[in-house]
Amino acid sequence: MSPLLLLMALVLCLVTAYYNGFHDASNAVSTAITTRSLRESTALAYAAVLNFVGALLGMGLTVVTADWALRLLGIGRLTEHLVDDPNLLATVLVVVMVVSLLWEILTWWIGMPSSTWHGFFGGFLGATVAIGAPADWWGLLTVLVTTLVVPMLAVSLAYLLMHLLRALGRTELVGTRELRFAQTASAGLVATAHGMNDARLPLALAVVLGATAQLPGIDLIVLMVSISAAVAAGTLMGGHRLIRTIGRRLTDLSPAQGLAAETSAAAVTGAALLGVDAPVSTSHALGASVIGSGVALGPRHVRWRVARSMVLTWVATPLVTALTTAVLVLAILGLRS
């Protein structure tokens, strides 16, 4: 593999980690900022630290091997097809990363949360079809199932938690002050779960690149710390457009709603991480949880036009990245022939 191509791809892994933190900062802090449980600067710093800790913890608890990375990314068949052409494989990985980053920039610009995981899976599917390798339809089914199940679980759990908090509020055992304190803790749980979940993606990409280039060995400690730092740095910058969408545009959040939504998102993401190498989206979990907390107060408390746009963005993400990646890979193949 060309050293320049390898270097470019590894740098893009860190850029992916950074922008993932920037794009998904809203997952951890939007509700806490909106309900004034935390000031924005404090919330972003808090989330950045816990994203760093969560990323290190998640990667440290993982048995990192090339097989694990291929299984997590769903590109086992693609790498088998390109085993004799490492430069093309690295080029495909670069194309997928660039397409996913461009889609995340676009969705950030329009203020709609999207899933990094689903963007990458769509890109890999498009590249696999363009290369002519057997598609991993089981992996695609897994993506479709999680796309449906995770939001449904999040909506349901947030709905139930909101009713529980309203019942506690009527007994005067829990007031606004206590809710805001609890929301600070739940925001920390979301940030930690996000770091544990999403840091695996750039790590797996780097491991596949190292194995493809037949490097004598990658210092995993340095790699994990670098990825964790990149996610934290991105979080510290904060994706303010997405924070407004999640915190203000979907519903008028109260501290109780914020606590219910964050607790639901952290629980769904954390439960899905237990031994599951699947694309679990914290963006889907939190967005759906905010909707669930609003529905608990009555359907009119949710701005359904915004919710519909958000769901359409979720559905469009793997489709757009798959089509765009396929077109670009076919163009590259045409130039090489």
The DSSP annotation for 180-196 comes to HHHHHHHHHHHHHHHHH
Determine the average pLDDT of the residues in 127-148: 81
- Give the residue from 69, 47, 39, 53 showing the smallest Cα distance to 265: 47
State whether residue 302 is helix, strand or coil: strand
Determine the average pLDDT of the residues in 35-58: 88
* Contact indicator for 213, 253 with CB cutoff of 8 Å: no
* Contact indicator for 121, 143 with CB cutoff of 8 Å: yes
Q: What are the tens digits of pLDDT across the range 286-327?
A: 899 999 999 999 999 999 999 999 999 998 999 999 999 999
CA–chain centroid gap for 298, Å, is 29
Q: Where are the alpha helices (DSSP H) in 37-85?
A: 40-60, 66-73, 76-81
Count of helix runs (H) and strand runs (E) in the chain: 15, 0
Q: What are the tens digits of pLDDT across the range 240-296?
A: 777 777 877 888 888 888 889 989 988 888 776 665 556 678 888 889 999 999 999
- Write down the pLDDT at residue 184: 85
Looking at the predicted structure, is the pLDDT value of residue 89 above 80?
yes
- Write down the pLDDT at residue 279: 63
Distance in angstroms (rounded) separating the CA atoms of residues 292 and 126: 33
- Per the model's pLDDT, the better-predicted residue between 95 and 279 turns out to be 95
Place of tokens 């964790």: 228
3-state DSSP of 5-19: HHHHHHHHHHHHHHH
